[in-house]
Structure 1
Amino acid sequence: MTEKEKLIEMIKNNETIKRYQAIEKVLNTNKDLNSKINKLKTIQKQLINAKEINKQESIKHFDALYNELLAEIEGYPLMSDYLALQGDINELIQHITQIIEDGVNKELNSK
């Protein structure tokens, strides 16, 4: 088994990742939640556009809508676990990336 295959297998078998995927499946089947997430994305785009053209009233309006909808989304059962696990996985990925970069740099510097 190559190092790449070992790494892939380790990631697949990681309990945090398995839990994250299980929660993601449950959340993805919630039509109301998915609708709110899509609406949040739309509001986020409108907020960015308002900031780009410096429309202060629009910025306040879309910011308030965004925060209100985000709070609703975060209030869904399992969502806090999902977001916490997402943070843990991001840290794991950063750690793995750093190990790979260090290994590559060590190999390059030893030649």
Structure 2
Amino acid sequence: MSKQDELIEMIQSLDILKSYQKFEHIINNDKELKRRFAEMKAIQKQLVNAKTIQKPKALNQFQTQYDEIRNSIENDPMIEMYLDLQQELNDLLIEIKEIIENEINSTLTKYQFESGK
């Protein structure tokens, strides 16, 4: 098995990734969340239109509605957990990337030093 395959297998076996995928599946199949996302998207379009045609009163109204829906989504415990897991997973992947880059750079530097280049 190659180092690449080992790394992929290791990442796929992480509990954090499994938890993230579980929450992702639950969220993607939650009808109420889908409804709120669709409502937020529709209000976002109205916000853009109100901004374009310079209707400040409508803009304020749509902004308030948008903020309320966005806050209700962001404060949903399931979404909070999902976003926390996403951040942890992203941090872990960045760390793995940095380790790989450091190993490659170290190997290249060692090779250049040994070959006298």
Corresponding position of 2:34: 34
After TM superposition, the score normalised by the length of structure 1 is 0.74
Distance 2:5 2:49 in 1: 43
Distance 1:2 1:34, change over 3 A: same
Distance 1:99 1:29, change over 3 A: same
Identity of aligned residues (%): 37
Number of equivalenced pairs:
109
**Structure 1 position 61, deviation (Å):** 5.3
Distance 1:93 1:40, change over 3 A: farther
Contiguous gaps of at least 5 residues in structure 2 = 113-117
After TM superposition, the score normalised by the length of structure 2 is 0.71
Corresponding position of 1:93: 93
1:14-40 residue CA offsets vs partner (Å, 9 max, x unmatched)? 001101101111111112212322444
Corresponding position of 1:109: 109
Query: Where in structure 2 are the equivalents of 1:1-111 lying within 5 Å?
Result: 1-41=1-41, 57=56, 63-110=63-110, 111=112
1:38-62 residue CA offsets vs partner (Å, 9 max, x unmatched)? 44456567768988x8x6x477555
**Structure 1 position 86, deviation (Å):** 0.8
Contiguous gaps of at least 5 residues in structure 1 = none
**Structure 1 position 83, deviation (Å):** 1.1
Q: Superposition RMSD on alpha carbons, in Å? A: 2.8
Distance 1:71 1:105, change over 3 A: same
**Structure 1 position 72, deviation (Å):** 1.2
Distance 1:8 1:71, change over 3 A: same
